[in-house]
């Protein structure tokens, strides 16, 4: 059976199988010898060892499309980096460092500015202009006033997104609004909540709300035999429906429970979440990753159209005469803020090479 690791804790991996729910798995011996440690986001093949308790073994890991470290998460499709338009004031240099990191990791990034309720239109336009030439998608929202969230939901739908940003910008507020109200449940009969308490931070894939993540209709065992909408967390358009025979089979197993409990059980277990977010710890500084300073300009997408036209090749775009990048800066094609970040990171990379 194919699934996706949504969380790993102390040697146990919680594997989400679409349409079934979550299995608690161990990495099987033979596979562990290869010394590849499964991480959240990994696409895995599992064998079920105990269908009642929803336990199994991971037998193989699919090749990773990407791997982020700290926190470790595989197969992220994109990053969402969130800053506040005010309180705290945006640190554009920090944002640009993050963007360079993601360019190097080849992870497409969307920029999000929260707390737009605290600034006027001009300020929003000023921020927008800084990034216009870079072509990163940029969104503005207010978690407080519930503005701009639909745009974000569209951006996140059907993908696995890592959400990052400095602390205090409203990341938790955003994630609270986006995540599915229905917690993911085990595929087994007995509901497990993970093994004991854990204090260490683990990456975890959080299912998004608004995905067809919960079953709309739930079995009514009160005699009518009809699936009734349960409201709230489901798919209002009814695009996603569970095979009713499947539910009825399960209901028989659960017949000692009350209809409400059966409803909750089934609703929780048959989920079709596709979009996930991964919360990452807030950061206050970022080191430019280790690469040659000559490569830095390639991580500023808006520099690319000009770089070939520089008089000197290679050009560092810091002081050379007839530098096309600096000309573009003078003509306002590249923003001063972005160029300043480039210079600062370039300096840092130059310093580092001296040791
Ligand atoms: P985190 O540290 O990034 O997770 O930020 P939180 O979600 O904890 O929010 C930090 C503070 O900003 C809290 O006091 C929130 O109430 C506040 N906050 C979050 N979103 C908004 C917003 O859109 N507008 C305003 N004015 N305040 C917000
Ligand atoms: Zn140049």
The answer on pLDDT for 11 being more than 80 is yes
Q: Kindly indicate the confidence band of residue 178, based on its pLDDT and cuts at 50, 70 and 90.
A: confident
Cis peptide bond prior to 71, omega within 30° of 0: yes
Q: Average per-residue pLDDT in the chain?
A: 79
Q: Kindly indicate the confidence band of residue 215, based on its pLDDT and cuts at 50, 70 and 90.
A: very low
Helix (H) or strand (E) holding 329, with range, is helix 324-330
- Weakest-pLDDT range from 9-18, 71-80, 113-122: 9-18
- Which of 69-73, 128-132, 250-254, 283-287 has the highest mean predicted lDDT (pLDDT)? 128-132
Alpha carbon of 317 to ligand 2 centroid (Å): 4
Distance (Å, rounded) from C-alpha 324 to C-alpha 178?
A: 43
Between 240 and 355, where is the model more confident?
355
Other beta carbons within 10 Å of 235: 18
Which residue matches tokens 């009825």?
Answer: 248
**Lining residues, ligand 1, CB within 6 Å:** 114-115, 117-118, 142-144, 165, 167-173, 282
Domain ranges in the chain with CATH number 1.10.40.50:
293-354
What mean pLDDT is predicted for residues 196-202? 45
What is the number of residues in the chain? 355
Q: Give me the pLDDT at residue 210, please.
A: 56
Q: Is the domain defined by 2-63 classed in CATH 2.40.50.140?
A: yes
Q: Give me the pLDDT at residue 72, please.
A: 86
Q: Kindly indicate the confidence band of residue 3, based on its pLDDT and cuts at 50, 70 and 90.
A: very high
Task: Calculate the CA dihedral of residues 334, 82, 199, 72 and round it to 10 degrees.
Answer: -50
The answer on pLDDT for 222 being more than 80 is no
Q: Give me the pLDDT at residue 32, please.
A: 62
Q: List residues, by chain if needed, whose CB lies under 5 Å from ion ligand 2.
A: 310, 315, 317, 323, 325
- Closest ligand to 324 CA? 2
Q: Give me the pLDDT at residue 1, please.
A: 93
What mean pLDDT is predicted for residues 27-36? 71
Q: Above pLDDT 70, what percent of the chain?
A: 73
Homologous superfamily of 64-212+274-286 = P-loop containing nucleotide triphosphate hydrolases (3.40.50.300)
Q: Give me the pLDDT at residue 334, please.
A: 98
Q: Kindly indicate the confidence band of residue 62, based on its pLDDT and cuts at 50, 70 and 90.
A: very high
* Angle (CA) 53 57 62, round 5°: 130
SS3 50: strand
Strand order in the sheet with 138-140: 138-140, 109-114, 78-84, 160-164, 276-279, 205-207
- Closest ligand to 177 CA? 1
Domain ranges in the chain with CATH number 2.40.50.140:
2-63
Annotated binding site for Zn(2+): 310, 315, 317, 323
CA neighbor of 212 nearest in space, from 234, 229, 228, 232: 234
Fold for 293-354, please state it: Ribonucleotide Reductase Protein R1; domain 1 (1.10.40)
Rg of the chain (C-alpha set): 24
Alpha carbon of 170 to ligand 1 centroid (Å): 4
Q: Kindly indicate the confidence band of residue 201, based on its pLDDT and cuts at 50, 70 and 90.
A: low
Longest distance between any two alpha carbons in the chain, whole Å: 84
Return the structure tokens found at 56.
């199994």
Burial status of residue 56 (CB atoms within 10 A of its CB: 0-12, 13-18, 19 or more): buried
Cis peptide bond prior to 88, omega within 30° of 0: yes
Distance (Å, rounded) from C-alpha 263 to C-alpha 72?
A: 35
Return the structure tokens found at 193.
């909540």
Between 207 and 330, where is the model more confident?
330
Between 186 and 87, where is the model more confident?
87
Q: Give me the pLDDT at residue 280, please.
A: 85
Return the structure tokens found at 106.
């080849």
Distance (Å, rounded) from C-alpha 98 to C-alpha 108?
A: 12
What secondary structure letter does DSSP report for 306? H
The answer on pLDDT for 34 being more than 80 is no
User: Which of 86, 90, 123, 170 has most ligand 1 atoms within 8 Å of CB, for mutation?
Assistant: 170
Q: Give me the pLDDT at residue 79, please.
A: 95
The answer on pLDDT for 294 being more than 50 is yes
Annotated binding site for GTP: 114-117, 165-173
Domain ranges in the chain with CATH number 3.40.50.300:
64-212+274-286
Strands 205-207 and 227-229, bridge-based pairing: unpaired
Q: Give me the pLDDT at residue 225, please.
A: 32
- Weakest-pLDDT range from 179-193, 235-249, 266-280: 235-249
Burial status of residue 245 (CB atoms within 10 A of its CB: 0-12, 13-18, 19 or more): exposed
Q: Give me the pLDDT at residue 223, please.
A: 31
SS3 150: helix
């Amino acid at each position: 059976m194919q699934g996706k690791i949504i969380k790993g804790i102390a040697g146990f991996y919680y594997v989400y199988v679409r349409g079934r729910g979550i299995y608690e798995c161990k990495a099987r011996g033979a596979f562990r010898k290869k010394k590849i440690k499964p991480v959240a986001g990994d696409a895995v093949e599992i064998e079920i060892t105990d269908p009642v308790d929803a336990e199994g073994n991971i037998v193989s890991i699919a090749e990773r499309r990407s791997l982020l470290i700290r926190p470790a998460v595989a197969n992220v499709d994109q990053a969402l980096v969130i800053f506040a338009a005010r309180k705290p004031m945006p640190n554009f240099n920090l944002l640009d460092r993050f963007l360079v990191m993601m360019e190097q990791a080849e992870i497409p990034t969307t920029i999000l500015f929260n707390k737009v309720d605290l600034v006027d239109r001009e300020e929003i336009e000023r921020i927008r202009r800084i990034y216009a030439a870079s072509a990163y998608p940029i969104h503005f929202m207010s978690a407080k006033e519930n503005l701009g969230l639909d745009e974000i939901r569209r951006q996140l739908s059907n993908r696995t997104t890592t959400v990052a940003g400095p602390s205090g910008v409203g990341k938790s507020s955003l994630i609270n609004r986006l995540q599915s109200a229905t917690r993911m449940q085990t595929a087994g009969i007995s509901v497990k909540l993970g093994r004991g308490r854990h204090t260490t931070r683990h990456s975890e894939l959080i299912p998004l709300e608004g995905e067809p993540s919960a079953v709309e209709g739930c079995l009514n065992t009160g005699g009518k035999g009809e699936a009734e909408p349960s409201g709230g967390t489901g798919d209002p358009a009814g695009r996603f429906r569970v095979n009713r025979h499947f539910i009825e089979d399960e209901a028989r197993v659960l017949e000692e429970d009350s209809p409400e409990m059966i409803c909750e059980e089934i609703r929780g277990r048959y989920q079709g979440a596709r979009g996930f977010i991964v919360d990452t710890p807030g950061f206050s500084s970022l080191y430019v990753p280790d690469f040659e300073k000559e490569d830095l300009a390639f991580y500023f997408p808006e520099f690319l159209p000009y770089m070939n036209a520089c008089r000197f090749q290679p050009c560092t775009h810091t002081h050379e005469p007839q530098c096309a990048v600096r000309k573009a800066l003078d003509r306002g094609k590249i923003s001063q803020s972005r160029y300043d970040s480039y210079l600062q990171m370039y300096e840092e990379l130059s310093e580092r090479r001296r040791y």
